[in-house]
C-alpha cells in the first residue's frame, strides 16, 4: 500500500489524534489529507487518489453512511472510526475493512491499519458489493456473485442472472473482504463455491471448475489440492 490516506472526522481533537497516530504507525512516507464534513470529503475523493479512507459516521450532525456506501464501489479500502457501534454490522455488510469503536486505542488503530496493509485478517461480513452504474452506486448481493475475474486493476463480477459488472477494487482487495465461500482458484479468478458443481481435468493437466449457470473457471495447478479439500 502506498499509504495515501483521507481522514474524515469533524471533531478537531480526534482528527488531530488520528492524523498523528496514522503518521506514527505508517511512517513518514504516509500522505494524509483530512476533511471535517461530508462536502469536503466528497471533493477530496473526487480530486485526490487515495488508498485508504478513515471515516467517522457522524459528521456535523450528518450521516456519513452515504460516503461509506459510495466508497464501497471504489478501489480503496475503508476503515470506520465511530462511537455508533450499533452500525458496525451494517458497515461490514457494505464492505468496510474494519470498524474501530470510539474511544479507540493506538493498538486498535494499529490493528486496523495492519489489515489495510494486508497484515491481518478482515472480518469478512460483506453482504453487498457496490458498483458504479450511470454515475450512481448500485449494490448487488454477494450471494448472487458466481465468480470474479481480475481485469487489470479492476475486477469483473459474474452474476447468476448473467450480468457482468465491473468493480473498481482489485481482485486482491475484494478477496480480503469477501466471505470464505469465495475461493482463489487461480491467480486471476475467485469462485463462489456455493455454485460449484465439479472439478474437471483436461488434456495437458489443465483443470477447470464448473459452476452452476454454465460457468467454467480455470484452476491453477498449484491450487488444485486445496480446492479438492474445500469441495470434499
State the average pLDDT over residues 58-66. Answer: 86
Encode pLDDT of 180-221 as tens digits. Answer: 899 999 999 999 999 999 999 988 789 999 999 999 999 999
Q: pLDDT at position 29, please?
A: 86
State the average pLDDT over residues 92-96. Answer: 86
Q: pLDDT at position 13, please?
A: 97
State the average pLDDT over residues 42-64. Answer: 90
Q: What is the CATH number of domain 128-231?
A: 2.40.50.1020
Q: Is the pLDDT of residue 121 over 70?
A: no
Domain with CATH 2.40.50.1020 in the chain: 128-231
State the average pLDDT over residues 110-120. Answer: 83
List the beta bridge partners of residue 202.
Answer: 206
Domain with CATH 3.40.50.2300 in the chain: 4-116
In whole angstroms, give the CA distance from residue 150 to residue 214: 20
Output the average pLDDT for the chain: 91
Does the domain spanning 4-116 belong to CATH 4.10.780.10?
no
- Which H, E and C letters describe 94-128, residue by residue? CCCCEEEECCCCHHHHHHHHHHHCCCCCCCCCCCE
Q: pLDDT at position 123, please?
A: 56
Encode pLDDT of 45-55 as tens digits. Answer: 989 999 999 99
In whole angstroms, give the CA distance from residue 232 to residue 220: 18
Return the minimum-mean-pLDDT range out of 76-85, 115-124, 125-134, 223-232: 115-124
- Which H, E and C letters describe 172-218, residue by residue? HHHHCCCCCCEEEEECCEEEEHHHEEEEEEECCCEEEEEEHHHEEEE
State the average pLDDT over residues 14-38. Answer: 94
Q: pLDDT at position 1, please?
A: 44
Amino acid at each position: 500500500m502506498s499509504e495515501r490516506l483521507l481522514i474524515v472526522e469533524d471533531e478537531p481533537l480526534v482528527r488531530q489524534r488520528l492524523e498523528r497516530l496514522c503518521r506514527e504507525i505508517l511512517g513518514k512516507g504516509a500522505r494524509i489529507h483530512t476533511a471535517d464534513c461530508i462536502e469536503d470529503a466528497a471533493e477530496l475523493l473526487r480530486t485526490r487518489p487515495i488508498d485508504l479512507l478513515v471515516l467517522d459516521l457522524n459528521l456535523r450532525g450528518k450521516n456519513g453512511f452515504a460516503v461509506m456506501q459510495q466508497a464501497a464501489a471504489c478501489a480503496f479500502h475503508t476503515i470506520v472510526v465511530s462511537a455508533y457501534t450499533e452500525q458496525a454490522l451494517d458497515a461490514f455488510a457494505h464492505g468496510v475493512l474494519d470498524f474501530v469503536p470510539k474511544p479507540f486505542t493506538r493498538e486498535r488503530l494499529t490493528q486496523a491499519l495492519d489489515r489495510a496493509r494486508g497484515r491481518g485478517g478482515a472480518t469478512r461480513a460483506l453482504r453487498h458489493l457496490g458498483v458504479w452504474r450511470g454515475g450512481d452506486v448500485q449494490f448487488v448481493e454477494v450471494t448472487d456473485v458466481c465468480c470474479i475475474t481480475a481485469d487489470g486493476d479492476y475486477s469483473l463480477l459474474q452474476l447468476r442472472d448473467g450480468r457482468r459488472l465491473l468493480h473498481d477494487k482489485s481482485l486482491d482487495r475484494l478477496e480480503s473482504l469477501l466471505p470464505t465461500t469465495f475461493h482463489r482458484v487461480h491467480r486471476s479468478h475467485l469462485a463462489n463455491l456455493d455454485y460449484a458443481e465439479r472439478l474437471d481435468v483436461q488434456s495437458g493437466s489443465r483443470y477447470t471448475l464448473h459452476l452452476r449457470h454454465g460457468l467454467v473457471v480455470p484452476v491453477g495447478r498449484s491450487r488444485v489440492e486445496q480446492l479438492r479439500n474445500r469441495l470434499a
